[in-house]
């Protein structure tokens, strides 16, 4: 059987995606391309469970740790990086294996990216201030007046997406939903020759894996990594500053909480995030092949 032209691997955090990607890279002569929005950050090797140096020696890795924490990564910028990485991987005669847990990245890669407008800074600032000042239910009510179709699609408890929709309707006079409907062609659509996989552990097994992995992170100096990141004095609104584990471990290092409490909070946040990822993949990538951790597909 001939090798696939590309492999896509999705799954919640700690599900075993990286191990599968390495196994397939060895079998297929592949190169691994990152699709995790936090593993792009140079400052966060441990807390984002980026591949180790030993793992990186086993197969070429692309788009890991190449962005400074002072920068805000975007889907569009990631797609530009993927475009270059795919070209490089194919030129080397290797199979690209795109792996990660950021559903928006994988959806943009396989379905196309919406053409989104630039928002004037004054409009963006006004709605960011409103988000800080008003409850999200009030913002949702304002959106229902201006853009009822988009308001019906968003939960009243989702202030970031609500504010984004308000910015777009004010700046352009068009619904965010209309903009989202105008997509660029996908770089890597799912179809013949593209293996699309979701690693999906049973929930209790995933919960246990998350707890064990976080303890391993502590042994790898995760506390020092969190403290070092905060010491840079970056804008707390930057994506890297919101990485799971940074806040509770920094509080522990500063003596504001105990080790057990910090670990429990980080594990709780990770489990919640994994649950959201799993739900998203089940709905959005329902047609992808589902595997248990450690299971190797016959490609």
* 261 occurs within a structural domain: yes
Q: pLDDT tens digits, residue range 122-168?
A: 898 999 899 989 999 999 999 999 999 999 999 998 888 899 999 99
Q: pLDDT at position 259, please?
A: 95
Does this model's pTM top 0.85? no
- Segment 232-245 mean pLDDT: 93
Q: pLDDT tens digits, residue range 56-73?
A: 999 999 999 999 999 999
Same domain, 96 and 240: no
* 298 occurs within a structural domain: no
How many CB atoms neighbour CB 298 within 10 A?
4
Same domain, 187 and 47: yes
Same domain, 24 and 34: yes
The total of structural domains in the chain comes to 3
Q: Which among 241, 247, 230, 248 is positioned nearest to 71, based on CA atoms?
A: 241
Same domain, 190 and 71: yes
* 1 occurs within a structural domain: no
Q: pLDDT tens digits, residue range 244-296?
A: 999 999 999 999 999 999 999 999 999 999 999 999 999 999 999 999 999 99
Same domain, 162 and 254: no
What order do you get walking across the sheet with 95-99 strand by strand? 61-62, 30-34, 95-99, 6-10, 194-199, 289-291
259 to 37, 80, 223: CA distances (angstroms): 27, 40, 10
Q: How confident is the model at residue 223 (pLDDT cuts 50, 70, 90)?
A: very high
* 174 occurs within a structural domain: yes
Same domain, 241 and 286: no
* 269 occurs within a structural domain: yes
Q: Which domain holds residue 55?
A: 6-114+183-201+279-291
CA dihedral 269, 73, 67, 222 (to 10 degrees): -10
Same domain, 166 and 251: no
* 299 occurs within a structural domain: no
* 296 occurs within a structural domain: no
């Amino acid at each position: 059987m001939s090798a696939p032209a590309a492999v896509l691997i999705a799954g919640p955090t700690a599900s075993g995606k990286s191990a599968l990607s390495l196994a397939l890279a060895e079998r297929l002569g592949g190169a691994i391309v990152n699709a995790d929005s936090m593993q792009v950050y140079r400052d966060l090797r441990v807390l984002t469970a980026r591949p180790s140096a030993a793992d990186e020696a086993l197969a070429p890795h692309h788009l890991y740790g190449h962005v400074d924490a002072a920068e805000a990564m975007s889907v569009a910028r990631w797609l530009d990086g993927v475009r270059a990485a795919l070209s490089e991987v194919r030129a080397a005669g290797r199979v690209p294996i795109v792996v990660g847990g950021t559903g928006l990245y994988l959806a943009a890669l396989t379905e196309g990216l919406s053409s989104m407008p630039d928002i004037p800074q004054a409009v963006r600032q006004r709605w960011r201030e409103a988000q800080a000042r008003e409850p999200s239910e009030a913002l949702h009510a304002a959106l229902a007046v201006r853009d009822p179709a988009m308001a019906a699609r968003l939960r009243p408890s989702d202030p970031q997406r609500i504010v984004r929709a308000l910015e777009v309707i004010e700046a352009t006079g068009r619904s965010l939903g209309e903009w989202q409907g105008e997509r660029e062609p996908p770089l890597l659509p799912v179809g013949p020759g593209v293996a699309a996989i979701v690693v999906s552990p049973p929930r209790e097994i995933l919960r246990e894996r998350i707890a064990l992995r976080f303890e391993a992170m502590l042994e790898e100096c995760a506390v020092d990594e969190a403290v070092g990141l905060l010491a840079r004095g970056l804008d707390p609104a930057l994506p890297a500053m919101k990485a799971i584990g940074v806040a509770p471990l920094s509080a522990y290092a500063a003596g504001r909480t105990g080790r057990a409490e910090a670990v429990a909070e980080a594990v709780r946040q990770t489990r919640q995030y994994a649950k959201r990822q799993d739900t998203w993949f089940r709905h959005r990538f329902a047609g992808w092949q589902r595997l248990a951790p450690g299971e190797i597909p016959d490609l």
